[in-house]
Structure 1
Amino acid sequence: MPPKKQVEEKKLLLGRPGNNLKAGIVGLANVGKSTFFQAITRCPLGNPANYPFATIDPEEARVTVPSPRFDKLSEIYKPASKVPAHLTVYDIAGLTKGASAGEGLGNAFLSHIRSVDSIYQVVRCFDDAEIIHIEGDVDPVRDLDIINTELRLKDIEFSEKHLEGIFKITRRGGQSLEVKQKKEEAALVEKIIELLKTGQRVANHSWSTKEVEIINSMFLLTAKPSIYLINLSEKDFIRKKNKHLMRIKEWIDTYSPGDLVIPFSVCLEERLSHMSLEEADEELKSLGVDSSLPKIVTTMRQKLDLISFFTCGPDEVREWTIRRGTKAPQAAGVIHNDLMNTFILAQVMKYEDVVEYKDEVAIKAAGKMQQKGKEYVVEDGDVIYFRSGAGKN
């Protein structure tokens, strides 16, 4: 008999990102975080001053997720209201060496990271005598080491405190289910502590379903999915070369394997943000490059394995965000808890069919509108009407 085909198990993702995805911008002081925040949000918030701790309390703004499908559905339905998907971005205060022990704005900085779903880590790779580097010179690998060390040290502290709470229960002894579960949890936390001490991040390892639930409850900083944004000079970005890039890749392969790296130029993006969209397009064409900002937004959704479904009608076209693998009742719950609790069925049309037929009567006549029950797993691009026992659709 031929050998059974091996099915590769998909890595379980940490975190519970919902429809309002939150991403924090993290890095050392004066690496371009606040300027990047202003460029990606096209708003005057943030404080791109040339001194450490110019940002203290995190600034917050929403970024529209680029979505050609949303634009096409809006064109077809011509709704009174259009609500695209958003990414909420936080400009978090710059990190310093010793933050895990409270140096600089350490404790506040680290608590702000705990509240986001994911991290954009900005790494400086440009020389500029007028922009002070808090460590004295530009060395992105050293900067990566500093941030990785501070996040790991804080996670070790969190984990050791968590372990103390577990031991209070396991010391009672006995064979109860709670004691057994806590002993298993203690073994996991001890494993996490050892992993952190070797320089690794929790997010870059594989965990079982039960382990994911425990890790999610701990809100560890190194469990946050990360994308590394390599801030180049405009000249280096255009020519796609920089002397630090190979060393950065080697560091990420060692300490953050599998995480994504996106080179970009804050200087260029900031300049484009002051132009009209038409002027910015012309400038990019003349330089022979594309803006990195759309990729930075959409890649974070992909990193978190997020997909979209749509609700459409003459009143409103809206794009909703869920994690891949979500069943219909839970997807309805993203709209309103009542829809999940009283879910009856989902009427599903595929995006491609809506674009082809452009009319729901024609879609029904072609047998392309399907009725799905509680076990239906929502697919990326589904256009859905939910029916519930409460009479809400």
Structure 2
Amino acid sequence: MAPKKKAETEKKILLGRPRGSLKMGLVGLPNVGKSTTFNLLSKQAVPAENFPFCTIDPHEARMNVPDERFKWLCEHFKPKSEVSATLTIYDIAGLVPNAHQGEGLGNAFLSHIQAVDGIYHVVRAFESDDIIHTQGEVNPVNDLVTIADELRMKDIQRLEDITVEPEKFTRRGADKQKKAELDILLKILAWVKEDGKWISAGDWKAAEVEVLNSYQLLTAKPVVYLVNMSEKDFIRQKNKHLPKIAAWVKDNLDGPIIPYSAEFEQKLSELPTDEERQNYIKDVGAKCSQIDKVINTGYSALHLLHYFTCGEDEVKCWTIREGTKAPQAAGIIHTDFERGFICAEVYKFDDLKEEGSENAVKAAGKYHQKGKDYEITDGDCVFFKFNVTSSGKK
């Protein structure tokens, strides 16, 4: 008897629907360095070709995403047009204790956080006589609990409001689809309210994820923790609060943690040249700036990757979710590319860099044609073939 095939490990179905340009929101209690961090990120904004203004308003900024591969491709192809991936950052105000009940700016933050794909949570881990902590003492774990609970309570309020109408609807007429959605919403409400957990910490089925994605609930969003330390602690890479922060994050939401110093980054940003910035880093004994890491970690937290379309006319970086197949990746360029998909001609960035040219990549047998089941991987250079006259029928 032939041995049974080992069951394949099922991939966890990802929450959210990030597509194209990533949107991240900065949250935190007052006086933790949130706005300073936003301003530092805003200074990184470089005019993207198809975005005439990087800073959209005082609390929103769009910037090009740092990617050494993109820079290399632009130098290699010398295209007429260069379009990098972009990141939009929102400085979200209004998060104070009892904000879900209307304290501070109250509900003003709700729509802002709902609109983003993920959250940067700025956590204060520095002492300062000049900057008073709103809770009277620097206690990062208490701050983490405060904001986690505020967002969870806001989700509870919204879920309770959402479930009122489906309950009335299902009482009037036994709509199976509405009843199934109501059951899912009530299960989610119990998870958030009775179990006291974030939605992102759950293991949800495909049908449940479909419902969750339609409501963009706050605790379904991934969180990147930005631990703001003093310059001294950042340089010596030691802070008394870090172990407790790491323990809380691991036990609760298990998101990435980036220790950084807004104080250090501020001083660095005020230096006019890259040479002076590098000299300052060396002189004080630090390793590097963390700003690029903050931006790129936002992408990895959402399981996003980049692929490139390259040529003399244009080099462009595209953002897609892990596991996206070739036709759907083509679809973010134009719907006709997906509808009339024929194949994807693919080679790896590393192979191009190693071989030196597309012709050399082909000669080395590293240039491949891929069909509709191919999953695009990070760093793929792709040329899509499609037929615009295709009816799209299978």
TM-score by length of 2: 0.89
Q: Paired residue for 2:209, among 207, 212, 220?
A: 212
Amino acid at match of 1:322: I
Q: Secondary structure at the match of 1:171?
A: helix
CA distance in structure 1 between the partners assigned to 2:250 and 2:58 by the alignment:
30
Asked if structure 2 preserves the Cα contact closer than 8 Å seen for 1:38 and 1:270, the reply is no
Q: In structure 2, the residue corresponding to 1:9 is in which secondary structure?
A: coil
Q: Measure, in 1, the Cα distance between the counterparts of 2:207 and 2:60.
A: 33
Q: Quote the residue 1:289 is aligned against.
A: 287
The corresponding residue for 1:103 is 103
Question: Does structure 1 residue 189 correspond to structure 2 residue 185?
Answer: yes
Quote the residue 1:63 is aligned against: 63
Equivalent of residue 201 in structure 1, options 198, 203, 221: 198
Other-structure match for 2:392: none
Q: Percent of aligned positions with the same letter in both sequences?
A: 51
Q: In 2, Cα distance between the equivalents of 1:60 and 1:300? A: 16
Q: Which moved more, 1:359-368 or 1:79-88?
A: 359-368
Question: What is the distance in 1 between the residues matched to 2:311 and 2:238?
Answer: 48
Deviates most, 325-334 or 118-127: 325-334
1:233 and 1:96 mapped to 2: Cα distance?
23
Correspondence for 2:235: 238
Q: Secondary structure at the match of 1:285?
A: helix
- Structure 2: distance between partners of 1:85 and 1:288: 28
Distance in structure 2 (CA, Å) of the matches to 1:248 and 1:367: 49
Equivalent residue number for residue 73 of structure 1: 73
Count of residue pairs brought into register by the alignment: 374
Q: Which residue of 352, 355, 366 corresponds with 2:353?
A: 355
CA contact (8 A) 2:26 2:122 kept: yes
1:124–1:138 contact (8 Å) kept in structure 2: yes
Change (3 A) 1:346 1:5: closer
The offset of 1:28, in angstroms, is 0.9
Looking at structure 1, the residues matched to 266 and 12 of structure 2 have their Cα atoms a distance apart, in angstroms, of 37
Shift of 1:5: 4.5
- One-letter code aligned to 1:235: K
Counterparts of 1:21-100 in structure 2, within 5 Å, are: 21-42=22-43, 59-100=59-100
Distance 1:192 1:58, change over 3 A: farther
Deviates more, 1:203-212 or 1:180-189: 180-189
Note if contact 2:346-2:370 (Cα within 8 Å) is conserved in structure 1: yes
Could you tell me which residue of structure 1 aligns to residue 371 of structure 2? 373
Change over 3 Å in CA distance of 1:364–1:43 after alignment to 2 = closer
Give the Cα separation in 1 of the matches to 2:63 and 2:158: 31
Q: 300-309 vs 276-285, which deviates more?
A: 276-285
Q: Deviations over 1:143-185 (max 9, x none)?
A: 11211111111100111122112212321354xxxx3333332
Q: Unaligned stretches of 5+ in structure 2?
A: 46-56, 390-394
Aligned pairs for 1:256-271 within 5 A: 256=253, 258-271=254-267
Contact 1:26 1:95 in 2 (8 A): yes
Cα pair 1:230 1:261 within 8 Å, conserved: yes
Match of 2:48 in 1: none
Indicate conservation of the 8 Å contact 1:58/1:93, yes or no: no
Question: After TM superposition, where is structure 1 displaced by more than 4 Å over at least 4 residues in a row?
Answer: 1-7
Of the structure 1 ranges 332-341 and 27-36, higher mean CA displacement relative to structure 2 is found in 332-341
Q: Return the offset for 1:4.
A: 6.1
Describe the shift of the 1:355–1:246 C-alpha distance in structure 2 as closer, same or farther (beyond 3 A): closer
Of the structure 1 ranges 225-234 and 297-306, higher mean CA displacement relative to structure 2 is found in: 297-306
